[in-house]
Structure formats: structure tokens, C-alpha cells
Amino acid sequence: MAQESSRMRRPRADGERNRVRLIEAAKHAFAEKGAAVSLEHIAREADVSIATLYRHFPTRDELISAVYQQEVTALIESADQLMTDREPAAALREWLMLFVEFLDAKHGMAEAMDTLIGGPEPLYSRTPQRLDMPVKALVARGVATGVFRDDFEPHDLLRALSGVAHVRPYENWKWSAGQMVDILLKGMQSRPPSGGTGIH
Amino acid sequence: MAQESSRMRRPRADGERNRVRLIEAAKHAFAEKGAAVSLEHIAREADVSIATLYRHFPTRDELISAVYQQEVTALIESADQLMTDREPAAALREWLMLFVEFLDAKHGMAEAMDTLIGGPEPLYSRTPQRLDMPVKALVARGVATGVFRDDFEPHDLLRALSGVAHVRPYENWKWSAGQMVDILLKGMQSRPPSGGTGIH
DNA sequence: TTAATATACGTAGGGACCCTACGTTTATCA
DNA sequence: TGATAAACGTAGGGTCCCTACGTATATTAA
């Protein structure tokens, strides 16, 4: 059996140093060249061998997750905050706008969203999809109070926005994304008392 | 100057044959392994050298476009049809559902949508984005009659759906996409239609 | 039929990238 | 200071992208 916690060796300093350097290099590389940037390039940039990169991050996804862990955590925390401070619809709206900000800040990372919100390859993306929780909770609250319909998948809000984010090159993509948030929120309202939209 | 049309040599039979074989092989490969499948694999499958593939399709985008030209053309034509047969909202709804069907049929092609509806790399995707026209027209008609708001980018409807389509692995993705169509349509209405909404 | 020529073809190879095996170095702890 | 676990780098096989270049062949005109 492996040693228990008390008897464990302290992690080596060089290992931790290199881990940090890799994350830093990856953050720059992702921002500059997109999520598909070569891992060897990242390793070179971090002044570390390619084998070391693989030792720390066996898959590309794990590196991506590590790079954005901080931002994702912040996003999750602001969801908690908004849920206590705002009404369901306003909370979700603001949170989705934060998500858009996040997408905006990560220039060229739209493709990597697969990693963070769940993408096409179930085996490729095994990292826990941490953004699943907050969006689900935000929506559930609105469903509970009857302002949101419940016949849709909360996750798809993120996927839709991430789809819109693919248009980054255009100058006004962020405006577009903001409008999309508005459309989504309007569209997911449960029918107003006056009458249904009737379109079927 | 190059010879004018009357004096032009007939295209070589082997060239046309190989072109067809490449498209066929690519269609299979895309369906089976996704849009990122190796071009060399496609060439092997078509029993043709890699150089021949590049001669016929200098870029991956051109191959993708060729593979789906038929389907995209059909989609464009049904937009025309729907515009004459249906009221704006119903026409757009049905057309978006056709688009979802299209995404569904192209198992694993969500990534390739960049090529067809306009993706992240303006230089990468130079092929004419033929789906831009129909969605614009369908939306414009609804804007003209006042049932749709006009402060959004029609293109983003496609992008949003293509984002949702990234979730293919889940069994119910198509249901999800259908719900998303509903949400989008509801969200883009200019006002809750008090009277009978425009469909009969 | 055959010669001429445009057209298409395949082989080969450089360069980038992914990933792993394996031997070496180094930081920690006794 | 020596032992040992932990981390490191080099090297290399395999795949892929893309191009250069010489060869083969379908078409057309003689």
C-alpha cells in the first residue's frame, strides 16, 4: 500500500515549478493561437520537454481545464452569489452575460468549450464539466417559481452561446451574443397569462 | 489567352471518375469519423493518391463543401418553397427543423459547420457560405411583417443550433435541438401575438 | 491509326505533430 | 552524505499535411 498522508514525501519543487510554467505558457498559446495549438509548441514556450508536458497533463483536455480552472471557479461562485441576490430571470441573465464575457476573454477558445461544457466526444472529454452545475441550478430556480418552462436542457443554453461565439472574427460578435442571451431568456419563459404563442 | 468554350477539350474521364470516388469516400469517412478525419485516409479509401486528392480539392473546406453541396442546395430550395407556402414564423420554424435534420444526418459533422455557415477562421473558410442567404431571407420576411424583432443576427440562429448539435452523443440531442428551435422562435418574436398567431 | 499535347496521376520526401520507451538526473528524507 | 522516489530529457516510431517532380494516359487532330 502507498504511504498514508502523514508519511508522504513533499512534492518536488521542480515539478511544481514546471507545472506552473506549463499552465502559463498554455494560457498564452491558447489566447494567441487557439485551442488547437500544438502541445510541442507549448512545451517549447515553457522551456520544458514534451515528455514533461505529457507527464503533467496526459491529455489536452486536462491542460485546458487547468488553464481555465480559475475562471471557471469564479463563474461558479458568481452563480451562487447571483442566486441569493437576484430573482431567477435576472440571475440567469446576468450569469449568461458573464459566460459571454468569459468566452470573449478567451479569444480563440471557442473550440475548447467542448472541454468545459461537454463536447462531441464523450471519451475525449472526461474532465468533469463543472459548468453543468451552476446553469442547472439557475434554471431550476426559475422553473420552481414558474417563470421558466421546464421542457428543455439547461446545458443547451451554454452550447448555443458557445455556437454563437464561433463568430469571434466579426467585430460585433459580443453584441450578437448579448442579443442571443436576450432571445434565449425570452424564449424560455413559461407562457405569459395572456395567451400562448400558438405557433406549433 | 485560354481557349474559349467552344474549343475546349472535354474533361478527362479518369479525372471525373476520381473526383466522384473522392467525394463518396469523404462522405463515408466524415460520417464515420467526423470532419477532422485525415485526408490521407480519405485518399486511401478512394484508392487514389494523396496528390490527386489535393489536385481536386486544394483545401479541406472545398472537399466538405463538395460533399454536402447536394444537401445544402436542397436546404436552400426548401427555403424558397417554404417562403411561398407558409407564413413567416411557420416557414422559419420548419426550415430550422430541416436544418436540424441536416445536422442529424451528418453524424459527427458538427465541427464542419464552420465551413458551411461561417466559422472562426475567416481565411480558413473562404467557400461561399450558401446557407447565409436563406436564413436571412426567412427572417427578413418576418421582420417586414412585424412578427420578428430585427435586432439580432439571423446567422446566429444557425450557429446556436450548431452549438447544440455538438452534443450528438446523447441520445436525445435531437429533441434538445427541437426545443431550442422553439425557444429561439419564441424569443425572437417582436411581441406576444394577441390574436391567432399566424399559422393555420 | 498514330502522333502531339494537355491533363491527370503517383512516388517521394520534408516538416510538424502526437505520444511513448528508456535511461539519466535531481530533490527529498533518513 | 547516501538511498530512493520523483521528475527530467533524448530519441524515435508513426501519422499527417502539403508540394515538387517525373511519368502515364485520355483526348484531339493529322
Asked if the Cβ–Cβ distance from A160 to B155 is below 8 Å, we say no
Q: What mean pLDDT comes out for the span A22-49?
A: 95
Look at residue A122 and tell me whether its pLDDT is greater than 70: no
Which residues in chain A are contacts of B198 at CB distance < 8 A?
A: 199
Asked if the Cβ–Cβ distance from A199 to B196 is below 8 Å, we say no
Q: What mean pLDDT comes out for the span B101-127?
A: 61
Percent of chain A with pLDDT over 70: 79
Side-chain-side CA neighbours of A58 within 13 Å: the count stands at 4
A51 touches strand D (CB under 7 A): yes
Least confident interval from A79-88, B54-63, B156-165: B156-165
Interface A–B counts its CB contacts (< 8 A) at 131
CA distance A149 to A128: 27
The sign of the CA dihedral A118, A123, A124, A129 is: positive
CATH code of domain A67-187: 1.10.357.10
* pLDDT, position B113: 66
Q: What mean pLDDT comes out for the span B67-90?
A: 94
Mean pLDDT of chain A: 85
If contacts are CB pairs under 8 Å, which of residues 18-47 in chain B contact chain A?
34
Asked if the Cβ–Cβ distance from A120 to B110 is below 8 Å, we say yes
* pLDDT, position A121: 46
Least confident interval from A2-11, B69-78, B172-181: A2-11
Side-chain-side CA neighbours of B22 within 13 Å: the count stands at 27
pLDDT tens per residue across span B98-111? 999 988 877 666 66
* Radius of gyration, alpha carbons of chain B: 20
Side-chain-side CA neighbours of A200 within 13 Å: the count stands at 4
Q: What mean pLDDT comes out for the span A130-148?
A: 94
Which one is the CATH code of A10-58: 1.10.357.10, 1.20.58.220, 1.10.10.60, 3.75.10.10? 1.10.10.60
A123 touches strand C (CB under 7 A): no
Determine the distance between B138 (CA) and D22 (C1') in angstroms. Answer: 54
Give the confidence band of A108 by pLDDT, cuts at 50, 70, 90: low
Look at residue A1 and tell me whether its pLDDT is greater than 60: no
Asked if the Cβ–Cβ distance from B187 to A192 is below 8 Å, we say no
Least confident interval from A12-21, B1-10, B147-156: B1-10
Q: What mean pLDDT comes out for the span A40-55?
A: 98
pLDDT tens per residue across span B128-185? 578 888 999 999 999 999 999 999 999 899 989 988 887 655 678 889 999 999 999 9
Which one is the CATH code of B67-200: 1.10.10.10, 3.40.50.720, 1.10.357.10, 4.10.93.10? 1.10.357.10
Asked if the Cβ–Cβ distance from A183 to B182 is below 8 Å, we say no
Closest nucleotide relative to residue B47's CA, C1' based = C10
Q: Which residues pair with B148 in a beta bridge?
A: B189
Give the confidence band of B35 by pLDDT, cuts at 50, 70, 90: confident
Positions of chain D reached by protein Cβ under 7 A: 5-12, 15-21, 25-29
What are the extents of the domains in chain A?
Answer: 10-58, 67-187
B10 touches strand C (CB under 7 A): no
Q: What mean pLDDT comes out for the span A87-115?
A: 84
**Given A122, A153, A199, which is nearest B199 (Cβ)?**
A199
* pLDDT, position A93: 98
* pLDDT, position B7: 63
Between residues A51 and A106, which one has the greater pLDDT?
A: A51
Least confident interval from A47-51, A160-164, B85-89, B121-125: B121-125
Which residues in chain B are contacts of A166 at CB distance < 8 A?
A: 114, 119-120, 159, 162-163
Between residues A97 and B5, which one has the greater pLDDT?
A: A97
